[in-house]
Amino acid sequence: MRGFEIGLVLGSWRSTTDGTTVSFAELRALALRAEEIGFAALWSPDELLGRIVKSGPRYGFWDGVVVLAGLAAATSRIKLGTWVMSALQRNPGMIAKAAATIDEISSGRFILGLGAGHAGSGARAFGLPEEAIYDRFEESLQIVVPLLRTGRADFAGTFHVARDLEQLPPGPRPRGIPLMLAAHGQKGYRHAARHADIWSCYATERSDLTELGPRVTAFEAACVEVDRDPASVGRSAGIAVAPLATGSYEGAFGSAITGSAEEIADAFRAFHAAGFSQVEILVEPMTMAGLEAMAPVIELLDSD
């Protein structure tokens, strides 16, 4: 389907109901098969710790940025992105350096997905800040964006400092790494409208347009507010798909998309018609069987 891309989220957990850690060897195999099937991109979450249920035992994640670097070396054609890198747990100058490094490893296939992060149990356990999360993110952008776009940043804020910092080495695409900003809410929409090549959101209750459709309208209004052509920004939605489910399925983003290959393809077509240029899908469960069930969906959409 022209003008619409389907990306695969490769998290290091089996599903939101199964916190079993997926080995890197399996993540690599899934990535290579996704490239063969025809997915447009691979996305790696930047999470620390989680729980299946609020009071249940913790489960962990591999470092999402390190995993993505490994997948960049293993693959050859598919784009790769952070989904999304947490500004809370990473120095902004090092965020830009990691972006250039993975872009080098991948020969120019990297997309920097960036968000404010969140102060949950993982932040507390790792001793990360738990206050002024968005203020820290706003300052981080004052360093990351200039480094990516001009190759230099000079900024002194309350939380972050860059002193005549150069982006050296610049990587294979100086000033050309796409920036995807995760944004929910008016302040975030405005930041994405000003700076992003792609605006990203994700479902929280329903992986459908009932929840996500109105956000396109809100984001476009923010673009008008900052004098940005809405058509110049990509629009991305994070959704869950359960292709093996025989009925309804509650997954990472609430009610997941289920049904036949044609029904799932129709759900993606609806996202495109509503103004989204891409989706990042979390296949539940993340197994080779679940991934193979998406192959006919990709084939249907490629024939559109």
Looking at residue 55, what is its pLDDT? 67
Looking at residue 254, what is its pLDDT? 85
Number of folded domains that form the chain: 1
Looking at residue 59, what is its pLDDT? 84
Which contacts of 75-79 are long-range, i.e. CB under 8 A and separated by 24 or more positions?
Answer: 75/31, 75/32, 75/35, 75/42, 75/106, 75/109, 76/35, 77/35, 77/109, 78/31, 78/34, 78/35, 78/39, 78/40, 78/41, 78/42, 78/109, 79/7, 79/40, 79/41, 79/42, 79/109, 79/110, 79/111
pLDDT tens digits for range 181-223: 999 999 999 999 999 999 999 999 999 999 999 999 999 999 9
pLDDT tens digits for range 221-238: 999 999 999 999 999 999
Looking at residue 16, what is its pLDDT? 77
Segments of the chain scoring below 70 in pLDDT = 52-56, 252
Label residue 129 exposed, middle or buried (CB < 10 Å: 0-12, 13-18, 19+).
middle
Q: How far apart, in whole angstroms, are the C-alpha atoms of residue 125 and residue 259?
A: 40
Place of tokens 């609430």: 254
CB distance 58 to 49 below 8 Å: yes
Looking at residue 274, what is its pLDDT? 97
Looking at residue 263, what is its pLDDT? 98
Residues facing residue 50 across a β-bridge: 59
Q: What CATH number is given to the structural domain containing 264?
A: 3.20.20.30
What range does the domain containing 233 cover? 5-302
